[in-house]
Structure 1
Amino acid sequence: MELDATDHRILRDLQTSGRLSNADLAERINLSASACHRRVQRLEAEKVIKGYVALLDPRKVDRKTTVFVEITLSGQADSILDAFEKSVARIPDVLECHLMAGTADYLLKVVASDTEDFARIHRQHLSRLPHVSQMQSSFALRTVFKTTALPLS
């Protein structure tokens, strides 16, 4: 699917203001409401827009501690990777899991209420993941900036 400049404007506005009404979005990008609606529907149908979410303040929901966990597995066979990925996907405190190139096989982003809560997550979940040979955790001291908006040309 080719994205044109109007699609990019729609996507930029929706990334920063996902609750915009169709009428407001149409006005912002200088389209009729019906044309804007058709474009948004097409972007949704093509899965360019995968969904809409509410972004929560981690401090207000008692998840103020962010930990990045590097995982090294005992091997690289598909069965080992699949078993690990299926297991880690079931841990609710893991927000992201990335297969990496470099020294670690995976990088996880984990949220916890505090260090004691992370110790619980580690003990009950992370230490039980299959095929893990090494794990290193790094605690974020402060989030300097964070965005969910992807850059669009």
Structure 2
Amino acid sequence: MDELDAIDCKIIAAVQNDGRITINDLAERVGLSPSPCARRLRILEEKGIIKGYTATIDQAKVGLPVSAFASIKLERQREEDLDRFAKAVARWPEVVDCYLMTGQRDYLMRIVVRDLQAYETFIKSKLTRLDGIASIETSFALDQVKRAEVLPIG
């Protein structure tokens, strides 16, 4: 990756906090005129540094108050097993985060559902039907203390 300069970092910080900011407001905030600001923003997008723009949704207010964290251990950690698991997880909308981990477990997933029955359905109809899973351990979030999409850039 190319080194980010101070202007790039300011642009990233601004769009992380407000993805709907206008080019004119962004340019003013970072100290550029609109045309070069728009060009820099486009370059950051083309390089994949800025991957997209989304709205932050309150999961409870849309009927999905339960966050379950599932730790998954696979029977084997061969590349084809890891790939098969990753492809399956990518198809499941309930899984909003999934990380390949070091340590005792192979994957850590955050699964968002409406209630415990929906989580049980997810486990029975999807997760346990996937070949190669040795064990699943689940913890349920009681409260969300912090959640941020804003990275601590420069």
TM-score range with shorter-chain normalisation?
over 0.9
Mapped partners of 2:152, 2:141: distance in 1: 24
Q: Within 5 Å, which residues of 2 pair with 1:1-150?
A: 1-150=2-151
Report the CA distance between 1:56 and its aligned residue: 1.2
Report the CA distance between 1:101 and its aligned residue: 0.3
Does the Cα contact within 8 Å between 1:88 and 1:129 map onto a contact in 2? Answer: no
Report the CA distance between 1:11 and its aligned residue: 0.2
Question: Which string of whole-angstrom CA distances, capped at 9 and with x for unpartnered residues, describes residues 22-79 of structure 1?
Answer: 0011111121111111110111111111111122110121111101000000011112
Unmatched 5+ stretches in structure 1: none
Mapped partners of 2:150, 2:130: distance in 1: 31
Question: Which string of whole-angstrom CA distances, capped at 9 and with x for unpartnered residues, describes residues 97-143 of structure 1?
Answer: 11100000111110011111111111111111220010000000000
Equivalent position SS for 2:149: coil
Question: Which string of whole-angstrom CA distances, capped at 9 and with x for unpartnered residues, describes residues 66-97 of structure 1?
Answer: 01000000011112111111112111100111
Shifted more, 48-57 versus 140-149: the winner is 48-57
Could you list the runs of 4 or more consecutive aligned residues of structure 1 that deviate by over 3 angstroms after TM superposition?
none
Equivalent position SS for 2:91: coil
Does the Cα contact within 8 Å between 1:70 and 1:104 map onto a contact in 2? Answer: yes
Unmatched 5+ stretches in structure 2: none
Mapped partners of 2:31, 2:9: distance in 1: 13
Q: TM-score, with normalisation over the residues of structure 1?
A: 0.96
Give the number of aligned pairs.
153
Does the Cα contact within 8 Å between 1:93 and 1:110 map onto a contact in 2? Answer: yes
Shifted more, 104-113 versus 53-62: the winner is 53-62
| Identical-pair percentage | 41
Q: TM-score, with normalisation over the residues of structure 2?
A: 0.96
Mapped partners of 2:152, 2:131: distance in 1: 36
Corresponding letter in the other structure for 1:4 = D
Mapped partners of 1:82, 1:51: distance in 2: 25
